Amino acid sequence: MNLKDNLKKIYEDIEIAKDKSNFNRDVKLIAVSKTHPVEMIDEFNKLGVKDFGENKVQELVSKIEDEKIKESLKNNELNFHLIGNLQTNKVKYIYNKVKLIQSLDRIKLAEEIDKRAKKDDIIVDCLVQINIGDEDSKFGIKYDETEDFIYELLEYKNIKIKGLMAIAPNTEDEFLLRKLFEKMNNKFEEISSKAYEGVEMKYLSMGMSHDFKLAIEEGSNMIRVGSKLFGNRNYN
């Protein structure tokens, strides 16, 4: 597998989607490295990819402890994002080690992040995860509860909300995906216009390997791409 060619194709597809979009937004690529070895992360990093997404805390921690990765993190050449569900009892392992927690979806979790951040006198950047397809199998808050949830988060001064994240249903229904991405963008712009203190609507993280082009066309400025870059996952 040629990782360089895979990356080139993703960048080309991003540009095509941006040209079709009505939104003039730069798009940040998060390379989803879950289940893939640090050697592949290192290779993509050498090709200029700086941001990597991990789903599981245990795997993220083991990768952070790899000597090569540790060096890149120290030199600010590489960032990790936690993009999977985060249990409150696992917060202590990663709250001060990731660039962005993309899956903030409940107050109990916010309390734990804020408590630990306060102790260290740091700010932890988070995205609010929305269950845009209202699927039982997915995490995230209900779409209609987004603003109430963000309003509740304002009291946690050591958390900075940097935007919204969603995982769309795994479907070939392009019309449905567009509708859901459009709804997400509407919410993103609506909250941006309110200019809440402690909230910076910088990122709209939506779109994965199978639907990132549609997501960009509908306003996404952060995509999370795994298999199109790394190939199929190895769950062994």
**Contact (Cβ atoms closer than 8 angstroms) between residue 59 and residue 82:** no
Residue 222, beta-bridge partner list: 28, 205
pTM of the full predicted structure?
Answer: 0.95
Asked whether the predicted pLDDT for residue 236 surpasses 60, the reply is: no
Mean pLDDT of 12-36: 96
**Cα dist from 5 to 8, 10, 67, 124, whole Å:** 5, 9, 27, 35
More confident residue, 1 or 165: 165
Asked whether the predicted pLDDT for residue 235 surpasses 80, the reply is: no
Residues in CB range of 151: below 8 A, 6 or more apart: 196
Q: What are the tens digits of pLDDT across the range 89-118?
A: 999 999 999 999 999 999 999 999 999 999
In the structure, what pLDDT confidence band is assigned to residue 134 with cuts at 50, 70 and 90?
confident
**Contact (Cβ atoms closer than 8 angstroms) between residue 38 and residue 45:** no
The confidence score (pLDDT) of residue 234 equals: 65
